[in-house]
Structure 1
Amino acid sequence: MLVGVPKEIKNHEYRVGLTPAAVKEFVTHGHDVIVETNAGTSIGFDDEQYIAAGASIIDSAEEIFARAEMIVKVKEPQPNECKMLREGQTLYTYLHLAPDPTQTKLLVESGATCIAYETVTDNRNGLPLLAPMSEVAGRMAVQAGAHYLEKSHGGSGTLLGGVPGVAPGKVLVIGGGVVGTNAAKMAIGLGADVTILDRSLTRLRELDDIFANQLKTVYSTIDAIEYYSSKADLVIGAVLVPGAAAPKLLTRDHIKAMKEGSVVVDVAIDQGGCFATSKATTHQDPVYIVDGVVHYCVANMPGGVARTSTMALNNATLPFGLALANKGPKRAMLEDAHLLNGLNVHKGKVTYKAVIDALGTELNLEYVEPKQALEL
């Protein structure tokens, strides 16, 4: 198979779909890899390393899209990239379609086979290709929150860890999954007063066992969100409904009730955000203020630590990518139900139910079972 790796073009996105080490794996399995020039240069993977791994360097994204049988990316394709996709071609990347009608429409029109990292599953009902970036984003959320709590950046001037004689800052984490757990680790490490909300008692018990008396676990209700957000210096939105639009858990009234200069970090912004006042921002212009509350809603947070993120992501995506190349997409997905769960669009059909639930009426689309779509 001819595998293509274009350079990412989203604002301040420096990650790359394949590292030189991953390219070498594909080449060793008998595949050809073409990489756009300077695709990984900014994070220490220069063209010479890709050539040494067996790749060919291509000058333009247009040629990558025109020639490759499978496109491996990191972020969702931008509109001009979507228009270069074609039927019979496989796209393997993050998609986050539910809050994005434009991308969904363009991918449907392309006829391509589009596999979303964020909906591939594993034997433990986890999301193995989303988990590495969730770990990064959870840890970064606390770093970002601490930074923007500084007075010079619009915050209240609160140090999360406090100092002897001064109480630490209060951190509220909404959601106890991978993002929330990693955010809690970082916040506890800084010495903050941490509360985590979740609707799963089983998960709350697990968190209580992990962290013991280092944080407070609270069952998530409207009343709990209202109370703890009003007391918090930093609120981290860490909720996830796989492949679906994020629920709006923090309302405008909750934001208004928060302390002046407090900070909210919406890690769910890729799926539309879990705060009513959230709108996607970029690393170039990461924050805005609503009702005195600083909002950090960068849609590609892990791109800020692109080298670490790229290597962590490749560790997870490589086995599935090799399966797609070695067996061909259809056979690979039919033989692996977890990879099949990653199929979101195929030959003009939407094959992920949560996307239809969010956009089906708006775009006049109908859901088709993944296996059924592959047989078309």
Structure 2
Amino acid sequence: MDNDVFDQFIEQLQRYVRERLIPAEKAIIEADAIPDDILAEMRDMGLFGLTMPEEYGGAGMNIAQYVRTIRELSYAMPCYRSITSINIGMVCSALKRGGTDAQKAEWLPRLAAGEIASFGLTEPGSGSDSAAMQTSAVKSGNGWVLNGTKRYITNAPFANVALIMARTNKEALPKNAHVSAFIVPMDTPGITVGKSDKKMGQAGSHIADIIMEDVKLPADALLGAEGGGFVMAMQSLDNGRLSVGAAAAGYARRALDSALRYANERKAFGEPIANFQLIQQMLAESEIEIYAAECMLEDACRRADAGENVLRKAAAAKVFATEMCGRVVDRVVQIYGGAGYLAEYDAERFFRDARIYRIYEGTTQILQLQIAKHMLREWAAQA
């Protein structure tokens, strides 16, 4: 997207977030759902097709523009990003990287128009451990038969399509070559979606199990080469991790703005608590860390757009931004004091909403191991 056009889009998005999305948050919390009229507006704004190429009906944003957009959108409550991010982050990325011309022509316009996608990797007994994956895809005639269960799948209750990872070899092969990726329409016979899980926070965003029992798929449901699914998933997760990092940075900014406003309004000992130095310390530390996260995200995106392998840097940015967000929302509760523990005030919700960022798209601990593994591998290659 042209930079001038993008700047205009960001200005429009910032107004939309503050004038439309934030005022709707109370109703979303009560209903645990985004209203249909807001979803229609988000589709009209092109928020489901940010990264899709223009020839498929998308905006054609590069990674830096996409991540900046997510950061601005995530100033509002997390469900707005959640409903769009699987489309524009992981599934679009996988289709662009591994899809045939026919697959791109079939699915990218539909996703850009606002059909909702899910990404099925995690299972009851496996997440990052692909060797423990139980979902299987067995060749049958000219197609495949899928069996298994995926757990904690974002958007599953209302998804139109899912990108499902399944093992196409019973043995755990080197480089996870036993895992393949499949494009699975959610209305395919044999698919059942479980009840939406009750969560700590993130109202309006839904996760559920996807259960597959003898799900018959055509041969062209396979995305990319057989055995290439896990690599494709991990490459797509680079975008997903940058998106989660951006969401954390955007929400931390919202929480800090809320604390700044409260500190200036709340009085103690006859003056605003914003005048107290230890309150100022918490405000300043939060500003410093948000700025650092924003810089990390911008650097990782710049490198990704330049064609660099950013697996390690995307992981680092995600870890720092999400851990930072956790620290910021904790300080915000502290600044609010007793009010911060009450559901009547925003600080309590910020605290609950932010906790998941350190878990999904790779926990902090898994990503730390991944970063260290790549550091050690590079050191060994140079030794």
TM over 0.5: no
- When the two structures are superposed, what TM-score results if normalisation uses the length of structure 2? 0.26
- When the two structures are superposed, what TM-score results if normalisation uses the length of structure 1? 0.27
The structure whose RCO (Cα within 8 Å, separation 6+) is larger is: 1
